[in-house]
Amino acid sequence: MKEINITSSFLVYSGIEELSEEIQSLMAQAVEIRKKAYAPYSQFKVGAALLLDNGKIVLGSNQENAAYPSGLCAERVAIFHAGSIYPEAKILKIAITAASDTNQTTAPIPPCGSCRQSIAEYEIKQDTPIEIYFMGEIGEVYKSASLKNLLPFMFDKKFL
């Protein structure tokens, strides 16, 4: 028997103001699209903004459905939209923000497992890392240099 140790490393910014202008703008767009989320059941709104290598920014917000789990998370809405309209573009960066209607979210909210798997698909497809920035409503922003940092044992096509 052997033991495997896996380490994840994140940069932690004390707030949006510490980010570069490019990432501040991306996060601001994620905040704005978060306000348009359809979340009548969870009261938990998420916004995602993707920066593509062609300079385009694609936005997504979570969309819930009474026939759970038919809704989609913000990250997957944005990723799938980008994949359908810009299939050859690479995703360079993703900014994610989450807020609750019932309490203030001050801790950074990472992508859920389904979103991590979806991001992994595109990171593997494009063979370049995707920077992921995530935060709550206010407070610290975490940066992961790659999805592999959040999901070290990715399931991908090599297993099929």
Residue ranges of the annotated binding site are 62-68, 73, 112, 115
One-letter amino acid of 115: C
Annotated binding site for Zn(2+): 73, 112, 115
Residue 47 near residue 37 (C-beta atoms within 8 A): yes
Q: How far apart are CA 92 and CA 89, in angstroms?
A: 9
From 32, 75, 121, 131, the catalytic residue: 75
Q: Given the structure tokens 């593509």, which residue do they identify?
A: 52
Nearest to 26 by CA among 55, 66, 62: 55
Please say if 123 is a catalytic residue: no
What gap in Å lies between CA 82 and CA 69, rounded to an integer? 22
Distance CA 144, CA 109 (A): 12
Active site residues: 75
